Amino acid sequence: MVFTTGPGASAIISGDSESLRQRPCITKTSETTQGKGQMKALVLSAGFGTRLRPHSFRIPKPMFPVCGRPIIDIIIRYLVDAGAEGIAVNTHHLADQVETFLAWQPYAGQLVVRREKRLLGTGGAVGNFADFLSDGPFVLINSDVLCDIDIRRAYREHKDQGHAATLVMHDHPTFNKVAVDDSGSIRGFSGKTEESDRLLAFTGISVLDPVVYRFVEPGEACCIIDIFRQMITAGETVAALAVHGHYWNDLGTPERFRDAVADRMLPEAITKACPERYSQRAAGYSNENDTPAFRRKRLAGDGSDRKYFRVEAGECSLILADHGIHSGESFGQAEAFATIGRHLGEKGIPVPEIYGFDRFSGLVFIEDAGDIHLQDIVLQENDPAVISRLYRKIIDELEAMSVSGKIGFDTAWAYQGAYYDRELIIEKECLYFTQCLVKGYLQIRDIPEQRLLPEFQRLAGAILENAYNGFMHRDFQSRNILVKNSRPVFIDFQGARIGPVQYDLASLLADPYVNLDEDLVSGLAAYAGERVAARAHPGTWDTKRFFRGYRLCCISRLMQALGAYGFLVAEKGKNGFEPYIPVALERLARHLEALPENDACRRLETLISVVSTAEDRLADQAKNQNTKKG
């Protein structure tokens, strides 16, 4: 590539980012540029990406990566492959990032990048490149459009028909706003039609004749749609080229950005899910007749903001977990889930296979382990012996996960914190309980916080003193354990860290979702103690220490669960968690009262009093609701 000056640039521009930041214009020309008569294109890339905030505050929309490649790179290479030998790009918002990236790309042909000091709009951007684009028809495309529409065909048909403008249209009910008459001419953009017109959607791709420059005021901000309206009023033909059988997506919102990434990743993921059924060719888009039809169904969510989908292709299926866009540099939730999941899978722990993930979009493609949760089985099974056998299998796997999962576990994967430590216990469990359940949900404001904090500190210290540390799931409850072919499958391990195995055991056995019988819980806890003792290093096992840690973890875990229920109901409006609040509160009170007389944590008088007050308030609320119903 040779860097030369363009309008507004005062010197030859080198490839370093400092010089790029100082220039309003970048022109790159390759040795193969043909001159006049070539296909040219303008990629509109200056906008703020407001619908993608807060992520677009840090990264401009054209630089959002789709499977690791910025959108603008995909679009430019798409145009080059279609025959464009001269490409213009306008920039404004976070222009440095776009310009620096483009300066280092080895695109064929000529690339001209101009920074707008103030936004000129889509029409003003066209006017700003009059010197570069006015020698013949040119393609105009938005920088958030991904598609496989035949640009060569659109360009050729525009030249053959001699229209002033040709807008590539398709039938997309969500966006059908453009009125097209029987002759294929566009009549309006308001969504209103005459009786003989039909409504189509604008793809964001058009081919414009230089006549457009009669309607553009140089340096003035305007919208290209307004220019099209002026052209129609002046008697110029603005034609619609209707296309079908193509792929198209507008990446302007988080949901559509997610869909675009998913569309690109699904063929490979479904191939990994069912290699015996779909070859790489069949699962790809190379042969239209071989492409499986993907069916996507939204699944019921959990307490988080994650979204889950079951994606089916024929008889094959997988689960798509959408953790949301992650534009930060640190480990995100999706990356933690995928990395930890693969780590556990390599250790032989029963977790779903990870077929692929995309760091930025937050998408993870995982094995479909079915819809049967441990909670479903416990609530439907009447035989305690059956439940006990299943829980023993789970405890076996839990103990193995705690030991083998710790080996090779990189604490950098733990995006929420590497260790179960004092700060987490106090902030995310104890205070979470008082703030979100007691104050938030129950509206009890006058709690003795100054007396509670020393008790929370004492509780946290005692938990850590009695911990048998290993790999810790952190949310090991019946809704995060699937049962497939009588075998447990662990999910939602993205919050894993190093911590006490007693905490995961407490999450399992003190679980409000199933409210296990106390005799069954005692037997299972004893079994778990035996399993952990069998693997403990000689001289390190202490039965009293293990079970004291377990009892204290039951208290901290139940406070965490109650805080979560209070938050989800009061703040998120997820009322499905409300029935578990009295169950969890009763269990918390029971565990506090059951602490041995000689235990230092037996003196949690303030916490016991707060829990008692919470139970009374909950009972009063229940009475009031019953009175209203009566």
Three-state SS for 19?
helix
Q: How far is CA 344 from CA 200, 228, 374, 396, 471, in A?
A: 50, 57, 20, 15, 10
Domain with CATH 3.90.550.10 in the chain: 2-250
Report the pLDDT value the prediction gives residue 32, as an integer from 0 to 100.
41
Domain with CATH 1.10.510.10 in the chain: 372-419+470-541
Q: Which range, of 318-322, 413-417, 508-512, 626-630, averages the lowest pLDDT?
A: 626-630
Report the pLDDT value the prediction gives residue 626, as an integer from 0 to 100.
66
Q: Rounded mean pLDDT of 583-602?
A: 85
Q: How far is CA 64 from CA 47, 122, 254, 559, 585, in A?
A: 13, 20, 11, 40, 45
What region does 573 belong to: left with phi over 0, alpha with psi -120 to 50, or beta? Answer: left
Report the pLDDT value the prediction gives residue 37, as an integer from 0 to 100.
58
- What is the percent of the chain with per-residue pLDDT over 90, rounded to a whole number? 42
Please, which pLDDT band fits residue 474 given cuts at 50, 70 and 90? very high
Task: Report the candidate in 11, 178, 155, 6 with the shortest Cα–Cα distance to residue 85.
Answer: 155
pLDDT tens for 41-63 read 999 988 888 888 888 788 898 88
Per the structure block, which two tokens stand in for 527? 């079994």
Q: Which residue has the tokens 């439907």?
A: 380
Residue, of 107 and 346, whose pLDDT is higher: 346
Cα atoms found within 13 Å of the Cα of residue 290, Cβ hemisphere only = 13
Domain with CATH 3.30.200.20 in the chain: 255-367
Please, which pLDDT band fits residue 33 given cuts at 50, 70 and 90? very low
The CATH architecture to which 372-419+470-541 belongs is Orthogonal Bundle (1.10)
Using an 8 Å Cβ cutoff, are 495 and 475 in contact?
Answer: yes
Out of 21-25, 165-169, 324-328, 579-583, the most confident range is 579-583
Q: How far is CA 319 from CA 180, 269, 302, 355, in A?
A: 40, 10, 15, 10
CB atoms within 10 A of CB 509: 23
Cβ burial, residue 33 (10 Å; 0-12/13-18/19+):
middle
The whole-angstrom separation of Cα 467 and Cα 540 is 11
Cα atoms found within 13 Å of the Cα of residue 62, Cβ hemisphere only = 27
The whole-angstrom separation of Cα 416 and Cα 492 is 13
Classify 255-367 by CATH class.
alpha beta
Report the pLDDT value the prediction gives residue 34, as an integer from 0 to 100.
42
Q: Which amino acid is at 145?
A: V
Judge whether residue 30 has pLDDT over 70.
no
pLDDT tens for 352-376 read 999 999 988 889 999 999 999 999 9
The whole-angstrom separation of Cα 252 and Cα 291 is 27
In sequence order, which residues have a C-beta less than 8 Å from that of residue 122 and are 6 or more positions away?
44, 140, 222, 223, 224, 225
Residues composing the chain: 630
Q: Which range, of 81-85, 337-341, 486-490, averages the lowest pLDDT?
A: 81-85
Determine the number of helices (DSSP H) and then strands (DSSP E) in the chain: 20, 24
The whole-angstrom separation of Cα 406 and Cα 400 is 10
CA 137 from centre of chain = 40
CA 409 from centre of chain = 24
Report the pLDDT value the prediction gives residue 557, as an integer from 0 to 100.
97
Using an 8 Å Cβ cutoff, are 69 and 97 in contact?
Answer: no
* 51-69 burial code (b ≥16 CB/10 A, e <16): bbeebbeebbbbbbbbeee
Judge whether residue 602 has pLDDT over 80.
no
The per-residue pLDDT of the chain, averaged, comes to 85
Reported pTM: 0.82
Report the pLDDT value the prediction gives residue 514, as an integer from 0 to 100.
94
The whole-angstrom separation of Cα 611 and Cα 559 is 10
Report the pLDDT value the prediction gives residue 356, as an integer from 0 to 100.
92
Using an 8 Å Cβ cutoff, are 88 and 129 in contact?
Answer: yes
Judge whether residue 434 has pLDDT over 50.
yes
Report the pLDDT value the prediction gives residue 378, as an integer from 0 to 100.
94
The CATH architecture to which 2-250 belongs is Alpha-Beta Complex (3.90)
Judge whether residue 283 has pLDDT over 50.
no
Q: Rounded mean pLDDT of 165-190?
A: 85
Please, which pLDDT band fits residue 27 given cuts at 50, 70 and 90? low
The whole-angstrom separation of Cα 465 and Cα 393 is 28
